Amino acid sequence: MLDKLRNIKLLAMDVDGTLTDGSMIFCGSGEAKVFSVADGLGIRIAGDFGLRVAWITGNKSQVVVDRARSLDVTDVYTNSWHKPDAIADLCERYSITPDEVAYIGDDLNDLPAFEFCGVTFAPSSAAEEIRKRADVVTSRPGGGGAVREAIETILKARGEWEEAVDSFFNRMRRASALKEGPEAVA
């Protein structure tokens, strides 16, 4: 499994039940979703270390597109019911093989993607059928850090997690110094 994880170049994921807890809140004609900040930070770190991230959802949702944009996720597939088609498109676009793709999903509609990808993750809150078929079941639930845990697992296997943490910490220190004024930067 460690060798498989080291070769991962792209983490594709379901949205509802994976990046969220699966709840849908409808406000009149609008829709609201709750996303985990821990997942968002993990996605930013992944991008900094060359791990591409793609979101694939069967729903059509502006909220999902807006959240992806806020995290600089450029590969977002909405209204995509057969997820292996989206993953095949990503493989072609980035010249990678399905063995270089990890996928995290939580429910029965994710099974075809599980069969297509090299490594599979399931949030702890996933349907039993998904947890049974996953290579890795996270300790965290969907919408509660499961994606972040998958990213950490991949970057640790690649030997990059400690560098990612240091890089993030240094970026925060620089940002804090800039807030205090130019004198603090020197």
* Residue 177 CB neighbours (<10 A): 14
Domain residues for the domain of 33 are 2-158
Domain count, the chain: 1
Residue 44 covered by a domain: yes
Residue 186 covered by a domain: no
Reading phi first (left if > 0) and then psi (alpha if -120 to 50, else beta), residue 62 is in alpha
The pTM of this model reads 0.90
- Tell me, what DSSP letter sits at residue 73? -
Residue 11 covered by a domain: yes
- Residue 121: half-sphere exposure toward Cβ, Cα within 13 Å: 31
Residue 73 covered by a domain: yes
Which residues, 6+ apart, have CB-to-CB distance to 37 below 8 Å?
A: none
Residue 184 covered by a domain: no
The whole-angstrom separation of Cα 148 and Cα 144 is 9
Residue 52 covered by a domain: yes
Residue 171 covered by a domain: no
b/e for 92-111, b at 16 or more Cβ within 10 A?
eeeebebebbbbbbbbebbb
Q: Going residue by residue through the chain (186 aa), what tens digit of pLDDT does each one get?
A: 999 999 999 999 999 999 999 988 887 778 889 999 999 999 999 998 999 999 999 999 899 999 999 999 999 999 998 999 999 999 999 999 999 999 999 999 999 999 999 999 999 999 999 999 999 999 999 999 999 999 999 999 999 999 998 888 888 888 777 765 554 433
The whole-angstrom separation of Cα 8 and Cα 35 is 24
CATH assignment of the domain containing 150: 3.40.50.1000
